[in-house]
Chain A
Amino acid sequence: GNSVTQMEGPVTLSEEAFLTINCTYTATGYPSLFWYVQYPGEGLQLLLKATKADDKGSNKGFEATYRKETTSFHLEKGSVQVSDSAVYFCALSDRSGAGSYQLTFGKGTKLSVIP
C-alpha cells in the first residue's frame, strides 16, 4: 500500500534559519506529491506540489523536489520567519483501484520559529 514517512517534530528554529523537513514515500503507482500546511486554528492549505520525477514545487520561499530514485520529497526554506510557524504535512496522491486519488498523509511536523 501507500505510505508517507516524514521527520517527526516538533522543530524549533530561530528566525532566518534554514529549514529542512524530510519526507519519504512508498507508492504502488506513480504518485503526485504535495506539501500541505496547517496554520494554528485554520484548515489545511496546499503549500506546493510536484507531479513527476525531478519536478520542483515552490511557493512562499519553500521548495521541494520530486526524487523518484530516492522516493523523497524533502521540504526546504532558506530563511524561515515567525509567520511560518505551523504544522507541515507531506502527502501523496495515487490512483487507487477505484480511481479515487485519495491523499495519503504523513503524521505532520510542527514547526515553531522564534524571533
Chain B
Amino acid sequence: DTGVSQDPRHKITKRGQNVTFRCDPISEHNRLYWYRQTLGQGPEFLTYFQNEAQLEKSRLLSDRFSAERPKGSFSTLEIQRTEQGDSAMYLCASFRGDSGRALGEQFFGPGTRLTVL
C-alpha cells in the first residue's frame, strides 16, 4: 500500500495525559499537512511541513501541540496535557509540490480519532 498511513487509528485517553500520533506520507511527497476535523465540520488546517521544515502553523495550534518531521519523512503530532476540547479526528495529508500553484491533490490518510475523557 503506497498511500498515506496514520497510527493509531483510535486513541482514548484521560484528560491531562500526553498523546502522540504518527503519519507516514507517500514517499516522494515533500509536503505534509496536519488537519483537525470535529464532528459535523470540515477539516481545519493545523500545520505544514516542506521536507523537514515546519513552515506554517495555524492559530488553532496551541502551545500544547507540537509537530515534527525529522529527516523529511514521517511526521509526529504530540498533544500535551490533553483537554476534552481536543477530541477530534486528526488527519494527515501529503502532496508533491513546488513553488508554483497547487495543481495537484493532497492525499489524505485515514485519520486518528482522539477521544479525551
A residues touching B (Cβ–Cβ < 8 Å)? 4, 30, 32, 34, 36, 42-46, 49, 51, 89, 91, 93, 95-108
Contacts and interface: CB of A to CB of B under 8 A. Distances in A.
A99 B35 contact: no
A59 B97 CA distance: 23
Nearest to B99: A99
B108 A43 contact: yes
B91 A44 contact: yes
Given A98-B55, A98-B56, A104 B105 contact: no
Given A32-B102, A43-B109, 17 more contacts: A30-B101, A32-B101, A34-B105, A43-B111, A44-B91, A51-B103, A93-B102, A95-B102, A99-B99, A100-B31, A101-B95, A102-B48, A102-B56, A103-B33, A103-B106, A105-B42, A108-B40
Given A43-B91, A43-B111, A104 B45 contact: yes
Interface in B30-76: 31, 33, 35, 40-45, 48, 50, 55-56
A56 B102 CA distance: 17
Interface of B: 31, 33, 35, 40-45, 48, 50, 55-56, 91, 93, 95, 97, 99, 101-103, 105-111
- Which 7 residue pairs spanning A and B have beta carbons closest together? A105-B42, A101-B102, A98-B56, A100-B48, A44-B108, A102-B45, A43-B110
Contacts of A99: 50, 55, 99
A40 B3 CA distance: 19
A103 B106 CA distance: 8
